[in-house]
Amino acid sequence: MARLVLKFGGTSVGDIDRIRNVARHVKREVDAGHDVAVVVSAMAGKTNELVGWCRNASPIHDAREYDAVVASGEQVTAGLLAITLQAMGVNARSWQGWQIPIRTDGSHGAARIQAIEADDIVRRFDEEKQVAVVAGFQGIAPDNRIATLGRGGSDTSAVAMAAAIGADRCDIYTDVDGVYTTDPRIEPKARRMSKISFEEMLEMASLGAKVLQVRSVELAMVHKVRTFVRSSFEDPDAPGMGDFENPPGTLICDEDEIVEQQVVTGIAYSRDEAQISLRRVEDRPGVAGAIFGPLADAGVNVDMIVQNISESGDATDMTFTVPSGDLGKATALLEKAKGEMRYDALQSSQGLTKVSVIGIGMRSHTGVAATAFKALAARGINIRAITTSEIKISILIDGDYTELAVRALHSVYGLDKA
């Protein structure tokens, strides 16, 4: 007997039929003797609708009331799943964030979980084998009001719940059957990984593989929660679905658990990047702060930063990327701040893509970057900027070459071969 958290996303609970299907997944695990806490999202599209209603009521609105509105989607699915489970003869009870309670900080709309007091839920496991159906995405803030965790936050609710009750596994059920070596829409030869380390998944999620909220991966890494990404669309009672050690899907786990380490595990990409170059910026202490301080204050997310060594010692070039949507704001701020730093010219381009090669094996292998550069060169793809970390190489290219670059990198590291 084990303890499991099962999380179901919006498409998995999109209507009553889908909720019935979810209930069968839950029942399968309960019948196997496991203690089960389920975390649910709102029905597909519901949260967008609720957000739209708030904006319609008033474009500028109180974040506490926004939370009161948007948290309601999860309340509905939690209750509906509990009803469905009960109708199937499974002892189940729904829980809203405040009832457990899941305590968060006070950042309404983007709150962070601080503690989960799950004693009552665990007691009900022990005393009556009761399934806890928990509304994801929400908790209670220090002001005693409902808080939501930011879009996609139910993943984080699930992982936090798993850590709080000491679950053996956290299964994230979604509309894809696992994590792929790259986006299968771009490269049909992409393969489902059986395992990926927390660190690699964190990079994949941050770079646009939208299976999991980034925050949930951070949390899983810190608390070492073994997390499975798997599909809710498979027949709940098909052979192997209830396999405790090897359920179908991708396991996100500690790297020690991954025996056969690949040098490169995946290729990720993010479109709609813009590049800003400041030419001949004064080269003296404080200039980087003068450039990036105002951008940070304005909430512009600066990513790749490249600074040259100056030739003469008095001026240098500084290049960095921001999301395309923030380009206008960023250039306006930099032009305004021109008094505090001197530069000759500001140049920018948009419609760029960042492609990244990810793998923990890079730590101990050389030549990984050179292989990427040669593969891109062979296809005539120009590199605009490069940044690296211990387990990642990111390359900025023109957006038109996204598909070509992703496929080239995917094949040059042998990811399309089983």
Site string for ligand ASP, 3-42 (x = CB under 6 A): ------xx------------------------------xx
Q: Is 137 in the site for ligand ASP (CB under 6 A)?
A: yes
Nearer to Mg ion by Cβ, of 82 and 176: the residue is 176
Shortest distance in whole angstroms from residue 10 CB to Mg ion: 7
- Of 97, 133, 130, the C-alpha closest to 115 is 97
Q: Is 173 in the site for ligand ASP (CB under 6 A)?
A: no
Q: Is 9 in the site for Mg ion (CB under 5 A)?
A: yes
Joined together, the tokens standing for residue 64 give: 């506490």
Shortest distance in whole angstroms from residue 129 CB to Mg ion: 29
Which position among 73, 97, 152, 178 is part of the footprint of Mg ion (CB under 5 A)?
152
- 163 neighbors 169 (Cβ within 8 angstroms): no
Shortest distance in whole angstroms from residue 39 CB to ligand ASP: 9
First-to-final CA distance of the chain: 34
Nearer to ligand ASP by Cβ, of 21 and 356: the residue is 21
- Of 45, 12, 44, 76, the C-alpha closest to 229 is 12
Shortest distance in whole angstroms from residue 48 CB to ligand ASP: 7
Joined together, the tokens standing for residue 143 give: 């002001």
d(CA 344, CA 75): 56
d(CA 120, CA 124): 6
Nearer to ligand ASP by Cβ, of 26 and 408: the residue is 26
- 340 neighbors 290 (Cβ within 8 angstroms): yes
Hey, which residues between 33 and 92 contact ligand ASP (CB under 6 A)? 41-42, 47, 73
- Rounded CA Rg of the chain: 24
- 87 neighbors 127 (Cβ within 8 angstroms): no
- 376 neighbors 395 (Cβ within 8 angstroms): yes
Which position among 84, 96, 154, 197 is part of the footprint of ligand ASP (CB under 6 A)?
154
Shortest distance in whole angstroms from residue 159 CB to ligand ASP: 12
- 417 neighbors 342 (Cβ within 8 angstroms): no
Nearer to ligand ASP by Cβ, of 157 and 356: the residue is 157
Kindly determine how many residues on this chain lie close enough to bind ligand ASP according to the rule CB under 6 A: 13
Classify burial at 417, counting beta carbons within 10 Å of its beta carbon; exposed 0-12, middle 13-18, buried 19 or more.
Answer: exposed
Which position among 152, 178, 236, 359 is part of the footprint of ligand ASP (CB under 6 A)?
152
Q: Is 153 in the site for Mg ion (CB under 5 A)?
A: no
Tell me which residue has tokens 């670059």. Answer: 405
Nearer to ligand ASP by Cβ, of 216 and 353: the residue is 216
Q: Which stretch binds ligand ASP (CB under 6 A): 153-161, 241-249, 260-268, 409-417?
A: 153-161
- Of 206, 179, 189, 219, the C-alpha closest to 269 is 206
From the list Mg ion, ligand ASP, none, which binds 187 (C-beta under 5 to 8 Å, kind-based)? Answer: none
Residue 393 has what DSSP assignment? E
Which position among 14, 97, 139, 153 is part of the footprint of ligand ASP (CB under 6 A)?
153
Q: Is 249 in the site for ligand ASP (CB under 6 A)?
A: no
Joined together, the tokens standing for residue 384 give: 């605009």
Hey, which residues between 50 and 89 contact Mg ion (CB under 5 A)? none
Q: Is 151 in the site for ligand ASP (CB under 6 A)?
A: yes
For 183-217, give the DSSP string: -TTT-TT--B-SEEEHHHHHHHHHTT-TTS-HHHH
From the list Mg ion, ligand ASP, none, which binds 14 (C-beta under 5 to 8 Å, kind-based)? Answer: none
d(CA 88, CA 29): 14
Binding site for Mg ion (CB under 5 A): 9, 152
The residues binding ligand ASP (CB under 6 A) are: 9-10, 41-42, 47, 73, 136-137, 151-155
